[in-house]
Structures are given as C-alpha cells and as structure tokens.
Amino acid sequence: MRRIDLHAYPGTQEWIDSQGPFAEALGKYWGREWTAESEEQVVGKFTEAGVEVVLVAFDIETIMQAPPCTNDYVTALRAKYPDRIIHAWGAVDPFKPDAIAEAKRAVVDLGVLGFHFHPIMGRYRVDDRRLYPLFETIAELGVPVMVDVGTTGMGAGMPGGMGSLIEHAHPLAVDRLAADFPSMTIIASHPGWPWVDEMTAVALHKGNVFWELSGWAPKYFPEQLKKDIRSRLRSKIMFGSDHPSLPYERIFREWDEFGYADEVLADVFHRNAERVLGL
C-alpha cells in the first residue's frame, strides 16, 4: 500500500539549528538528544519505511534568532531525492518584512506544495488579523496550508514553556481561518490534544479543513478519534509522522493494531492526500 507522509522534517543539522533553544529543551523533556543525521541517512530511513514524504521547512527566526531551515533547502532535497521526497511544505515567518514576497517566491520560483505554520513556536494564532495579508496572498496563489493544532513537546516542562502559549494552537483559530478563507485548503496537523473534540467539530463543519495525525504514537489516540477515523472522519484524515520524532516501525505497527479494514487505511495513508492535495 502506498504511504504518503505529509509531515516529515529533514532531521539534518540544518533542521536542528532552525529550532534554536527549543531543540535542547525537547531533548531534556523526552530524555534524548536530537542528533543530526546526514541527508543520505534520512532518505535511507524513508526508503526502509516505504514512505513518500512531503518535507517541511521551518522558520521562527524573528522569535528565536535561529537560522531557518529554508524553502530553498527542502526543495533542493526534493530535487535530489524525488523518489522519496515527493513534495515540500514551505515556511514563512509571518513577522518578517519580506514574508509576502517570500511566499510568492516559494510558490512561483521553488514550487512548494503550500506552507506550514507552527503557532506555538512562532507565537501567533493563525486567525490573528495581522497575518491576514499573508494568508490573502497564499489564497491568491492557490496553495494549501498546514497548521499545527494542540500542545507540543517544544518548550514543554521548561519554566514558562520558554514563553510559548499552547492557546495559540487552539483548533478554533483554524475554524476562523477556514471561515474567512473558504477557498483555501487547510490541513490541521497533529491530534490537537487537549482539544480533540473541538478539532473533530472543526473538521466536520468546515469543508475546506482536513486533518493529519502526526506527532503522537497512535496507541495514545483517544478512543472516540479511533472510532471516527473509520466512520465520520474517514474522508478527512491523512497520515503524517512528524519525523524524526517517532520511529516509523512503531507508528505503522500501532496503526495496524487498530484493526481497520484495508480500505480505511488506504484512505488514510494515500487516497485522501491524493484527492485533496493532488499528490
């Protein structure tokens, strides 16, 4: 069965550096350090797992003064390893003065799939009206966005969460964004805990909102979500890993343990992404 991973980070030094002090804090929280791998090692893991990935750029330079994992970097990797890296999510720091120009360049010149937003680490809500000129540009470009929802391990356990607010990633921010930009396809990213029910409601109510479940071990999905994946959310759910957060072997083993029919897994692992994003 084809497996499209909608949410994979490079795992290289360029990506680790882009997180600034969040990388060290996450290592302390999880009890393991982030260790950079070479491009060849990363692609080897994708190959071994049998996944085709959409690689994710990252940019929180305004907040953390960390060098971004750039749009040029992820699209260059896509060009170098097209059999495994089938597309790339661009990243735009919305507080940079050239954010709109960079969004246009990333789509027109680099051909990114769309843009990923990490509200907690970037310290904004996506329904903040200050960001709307950027979203208007993205809507005009006709590309989708992927927005993290729910809490994150980044800054978790640290005093003050390193200044970040989990409220910034509330699903109701996605609800407002979807209402204000009905032509824009929005992929909510991660299960959205502690607001899983709220995220379910948004996904069911907004026709332009879909949902990929990366970043959590599947066995920890709430029971109602497990039921909804095979029923009322079946056309909405997509697969993501949040590589390198969890090993693929564990992720796929725990998906298999749900006992879903092959037709359900096909929708999750590739059909919905093919239909909605043209992958």
Domain locations in the chain?
4-277
CB 210 within 8 A of CB 245: no
The band of 155, judged by pLDDT with boundaries at 50, 70 and 90, is low
Q: What is the mean pLDDT of residues 171-176?
A: 98
CA 196 → CA 8, 91, 139, 228, 271, distances in Å? 22, 25, 27, 11, 23
pLDDT digits (tens, 9 = 90+) for 88-120: 999 999 999 999 999 999 999 999 999 999 999
Q: What is the mean pLDDT of residues 225-239?
A: 98
Q: What is the mean pLDDT of residues 240-253?
A: 96
d(CA 150, CA 219): 17
pLDDT score for 230: 98
Q: Count other Cβ atoms within 10 Å, centred on residue 137.
A: 16
Strands (E) in the chain, as ranges, are: 4-8, 52-56, 85-91, 114-117, 145-148, 186-189, 209-212, 237-238
Could you confirm whether domain 4-277 is CATH 3.20.20.70?
Answer: no
pLDDT digits (tens, 9 = 90+) for 190-211: 999 999 999 999 999 999 999 9
pLDDT score for 159: 77
CB 277 within 8 A of CB 113: yes
pTM of the model: 0.96
pLDDT score for 20: 84
